[in-house]
Amino acid sequence: MLSASTGEGQISLSDYQGQWVVLYFYPKDFTPGCTLEAQRFQQDLPKYRDRNTQIIGVSADDVVSHAEFCDAEGLKFPLLADINGEVSKAYGSWLGFMSLRHTYIIDPDGILRAIFLGVRPAIHSQEVLAQLDQLQATDWRAST
């Protein structure tokens, strides 16, 4: 379940069927930890693309804030404006008025394969890449 607005309109997890998805929730644009986390995902974006993986960020900030954040940080992946927390709540990543810092890896069939709680922004992208490599090395389709 994922449907929220970006500057490009609505997107849904089904838009990424056949790809891995790293769905990461974060509290707020332009804060130090959130900026560092986004920068690391952007820095590693070619590695994610090599692994047939789409990164999607989610926070309660609006589309305008996300557009400014993407422009300021050179982000080339979508950020979802989950203003009412609907998507965050569905993933258990909502704290009353903002998203918690959680990350989910979803396989090409739309099945949740990994959850990261208590994320450390400076090293998180590397942790996600390592987990993604582990998941992709297993015959994940055989278990479905």
Active-site residue list: 34
Two tokens, residue 8: 């490009």
The answer to whether residues 136 and 142 touch, using CB atoms and an 8 Å cutoff, is no
| Pick from 93, 120, 86, 116: nearest CA to 27 | 93
| Pick from 128, 78, 76: nearest CA to 101 | 128
